Amino acid sequence: MVCAGTGCVANNSWGIKKGLEEELRKKGLENEVQVVATGCNGFCAEGPLMVVQPGNIFYRRLTEKEIPHLVEEHFLKGRPVQKFMYTPPTEKAPIPTMDHIPFFRDQMLIALRNRGLIDPTRIDEAIGRGAYSALAKALTTLKPEEVIRIIKASGLRGRGGGGFPTGVKWETCRDAHGDPKYIVCNADEGDPGAFMDRSIIESDPHSVIEGMLIGAFAIGSQSGYIYIRQEYPLARERLIIALGQAREYGLLGNNIFDTGFNFDIKITRGAGAFVCGESTALMASIEGRVGEPRAKYIHTVEHGLWNLPTCLNNVETWATVPVIILRGVEWFTSIGTGDVTDNPWGGSKGTKVFSLTGKVNNTGLVEVPMGITLRKIIFDIGGGIPGGKKFKSVQTGGPSGGFLPTDLLDLQVDFEQLTEAGSMMGSGGMVVMNEDDCMVDMAKYFLAFTQDESCGKCTPCREGTYQMLQILKRITEGLGTEEDIETLEQLSQFVMDTSLCALGGSAPNPVLTSLRYFRQEYEAHIRQKKCPAHACRQLNLYMINPDMCATKGHGCGVCMRQCPEKAITGEKGKAHVVDQVACKKCGVCYDVCKFDAVQVS
């Protein structure tokens, strides 16, 4: 019942009535829902008004553009729309809806389509959300070559970091000589701070299994491996359950869906080596050999596992495949940047999942269309920097990526643009840093990681990263020299050019980007022996503000008791003092003072 009193008419209730009738006709509900114009409802201040019976649902402040949503939700799906309903002023304001919350509204879920909705240990729930229907479509209506054509045309590129066009990879593998052929899923996810793949496997393992089935059909493989890192026990447990349930239903094994297609999957566990996320090292590990990469001028799609054609893709890539088969090329290419009609590298299509972490309010998993800006991800979806602190830098691509400064916040996230800026997409780790983070210290952190994880095969990587790390350590301790920056740049170039695999090839990226965008921080450490962010404690000066200590803290003495060097003296009730000669800059006094009396400069 749409109110057609003067007040509401003046606010377009006729337009709303018309829109309502049209929308109901569109949805085929014109015989089920009767639209009636009534006289003035009385509550003019909240118009335009509408009452729905049965249920006595009272909608207010309606607008024409909300009508399609209202019809869809209330009349088609039977879910009255809370946000259009009236809330008496004594009650609290209505709770916002999901699409009012930027964290959820600005995301677009493809790989994470089932997140939070299904129990991953019950295959029926995944099937209820469409799992295995893409497989059915592929097996019964498409030839393997057609599946490859679709994936090629979609512009899907590897989501593990390489960004290699998936369709091209599948085609090369199909055409390669050798039998049997293998499908591999890279679930090693070693980048610190990245947890996209873990979440996909924990929450929706069937999306990955189905993707691998479709890939195996396209390439002509009957045997697949999922290489999952040792540090993901929950993901592995749910994967084992999912594989078992898929087998019970005959979705893995022989003669799937009575089409003569056979395929099954084995799980291989990692053993704590980051380098085994590199495809050739991963395959060596599956074979039982030491996880060391080899030169890739011979591609693994031609000679991979046991020297046979092997197609390796990342978890997120596999999870995206079924959706492309179901919804088609035109839909997928409408999302993202660039043009892939003639050149598979011509654009970045679809969405990417990022694990947003660090100094940001909404830490979590974010799936967004390619082409979205860093600013939107960090400040809208991420909710900005907590504590009112200032943004300083965002790191993308894990230890292989780089740091991007404030000036580049409007950069569109896609494969090419990130690489041009000196960073890379990587697997999707996105670490946000604020004014309290030291860029030299962060570069040191990532280099320490890659140095530790280097397999040691190549001298430049093994020795080069070690030497670079030593230089960075000296700089953060105030022992850097002018030549150090040039040495770092030379070593970086050298390690990048001469390492066999991408670990060494990209390990210097954090150093190079921090030098490119934050050179002044290096210079401050070297020339003034200062750390602008106060993160490198060796360079800090810890002093007690006597007024604060005496009036606020009343000389409580906590810092004195905690100081490992016994460098603080003072009487109870009076201001305490730090002996700068004895002080070893550990910063414990700063950490424990409850009155902000210890000041760092």
Partner 1 sequence: MPKLKIEDLQKISDQVKRTTLLREGASRARVNVHMGTCGISAGARKIVDAVLKIIEERDVKDVLLTTSGCAGLCSREPMATIELAGEAPVKYVDLTEEKIRKIFTDHVLGGKIVAEYALALGSEREHM
Tell me which residue of 224, 246, 228 sits closest to 237, measured CA to CA: 228
Residue 354 or 518: which CB sits closer to partner 1?
Answer: 354
481 sits near partner 1 (criterion: CB under 8 A): no
CB of 70 to partner 1, least distance (A): 12
Site string for partner 1, 136-165 (x = CB under 8 A): x---x-------------------------
Helix 205-219 × helix 315-327 angle, to 10°: 70
| DSSP summary character for residue 501 | S
Q: CB of 541 within 8 A of CB of 580?
A: yes
Q: CB of 147 within 8 A of CB of 138?
A: yes
**Applying CB under 8 A, which part among 178-186, 287-295, 319-327, 559-567 lies near partner 1?**
319-327
CB of 460 to partner 1, least distance (A): 37
Residue 24 or 368: which CB sits closer to partner 1?
Answer: 368
Q: CB of 81 within 8 A of CB of 72?
A: no
110 sits near partner 1 (criterion: CB under 8 A): yes
CB of 560 to partner 1, least distance (A): 37
36 sits near partner 1 (criterion: CB under 8 A): no
**What is the per-residue burial (b if ≥16 Cβ within 10 Å, else e) of 297-336?**
eebbbbbbbeebbbbbbbbbbbbbbbbbbeeebeebbebb
109 sits near partner 1 (criterion: CB under 8 A): yes
State which of positions 246-265 bind partner 1 (CB under 8 A).
248-251, 255, 257-258
365 sits near partner 1 (criterion: CB under 8 A): yes
**With helix as H, strand as E and coil as C, how does 296-329 read?**
CCCCCCCCCHHHCCEEEEEHHHHHHHHHHHHHCH
Site string for partner 1, 345-364 (x = CB under 8 A): ----------------xxxx
Which residue of 112, 187, 194, 589 would you call a contact of partner 1, by CB under 8 A? Answer: 112
Q: How far apart are CA 317 and CA 159, in angstroms?
A: 5
Q: How far apart are CA 522 and CA 528, in angstroms?
A: 10
**Applying CB under 8 A, which part among 16-24, 131-139, 388-396, 557-565 lies near partner 1?**
131-139
Tell me which residue of 225, 293, 272 sits closest to 458, measured CA to CA: 293
Which residue of 28, 88, 89, 116 would you call a contact of partner 1, by CB under 8 A? Answer: 116
Q: CB of 403 within 8 A of CB of 517?
A: yes
State which of positions 418-457 bind partner 1 (CB under 8 A).
none
State which of positions 171-230 bind partner 1 (CB under 8 A).
195, 198-199, 202-204
Residue 193 or 587: which CB sits closer to partner 1?
Answer: 193
Give the 3-state secondary structure of residue 399. helix
CB of 582 to partner 1, least distance (A): 41
Which residue of 82, 307, 481, 493 would you call a contact of partner 1, by CB under 8 A? Answer: 82
CB of 88 to partner 1, least distance (A): 13
Residue 199 or 348: which CB sits closer to partner 1?
Answer: 199
Cα angle 496, 184, 169; round to 5: 65
Size of the site for partner 1 (CB under 8 A): 65
Give the 3-state secondary structure of residue 160. coil
Residue 181 or 198: which CB sits closer to partner 1?
Answer: 198
Residue 107 or 514: which CB sits closer to partner 1?
Answer: 107
113 sits near partner 1 (criterion: CB under 8 A): yes
Q: How far apart are CA 452 and CA 373, in angstroms?
A: 33
120 sits near partner 1 (criterion: CB under 8 A): yes
CB of 34 to partner 1, least distance (A): 20
Residue 39 or 96: which CB sits closer to partner 1?
Answer: 96
Q: Which residues pair with 368 in a beta bridge?
A: 352
Token representation of residue 253: 């094994």
366 phi-psi bin (left φ>0, alpha ψ -120 to 50, beta other): beta
Which residue of 34, 65, 92, 388 would you call a contact of partner 1, by CB under 8 A? Answer: 92
Task: Please state, as a whole number, how many other Cβ atoms lie within 10 Å of the Cβ of residue 277.
Answer: 26
Residue 119 or 420: which CB sits closer to partner 1?
Answer: 119
Residue 173 or 360: which CB sits closer to partner 1?
Answer: 360
CB of 340 to partner 1, least distance (A): 20
CB of 492 to partner 1, least distance (A): 34
Helix 133-141 × helix 315-327 angle, to 10°: 60
Token representation of residue 571: 């009487």
| Dihedral angle sign, alpha carbons of residues 400, 406, 409, 411 | negative
Residue 208 or 575: which CB sits closer to partner 1?
Answer: 208
DSSP 452-485: HH--S-SHHHHHHHHHHHHHHHHHHTT---HHHH
Q: How far apart are CA 454 and CA 471, in angstroms?
A: 18
32 sits near partner 1 (criterion: CB under 8 A): no
CB of 174 to partner 1, least distance (A): 24
Residue 234 or 290: which CB sits closer to partner 1?
Answer: 234
List Cβ neighbours of 175 (8 Å cut-off, separation of 6 or more): none
Q: CB of 400 within 8 A of CB of 419?
A: no
85 sits near partner 1 (criterion: CB under 8 A): no
Which residue of 86, 104, 345, 494 would you call a contact of partner 1, by CB under 8 A? Answer: 104
CB of 236 to partner 1, least distance (A): 12
Which residue of 125, 264, 416, 523 would you call a contact of partner 1, by CB under 8 A? Answer: 125
Residue 106 or 287: which CB sits closer to partner 1?
Answer: 106
**Applying CB under 8 A, which part among 20-28, 114-122, 508-516, 535-543 lies near partner 1?**
114-122
- Number of residues that this document lists for the chain: 601
Which residue of 9, 33, 76, 81 would you call a contact of partner 1, by CB under 8 A? Answer: 81
Token representation of residue 62: 């309606």
Distance set, CA 489 to CA 349, 511, 516, 518 (Å): 34, 8, 10, 14
Q: How far apart are CA 228 and CA 246, in angstroms?
A: 18
**Which spans of this chain sit near partner 1 (rule: CB under 8 A)?**
73, 78-83, 92, 94-101, 103-105, 107-110, 112-113, 115-120, 124-125, 127-130, 132-133, 136, 140, 195, 198-199, 202-204, 234-235, 248-251, 255, 257-258, 323, 326-327, 361-366
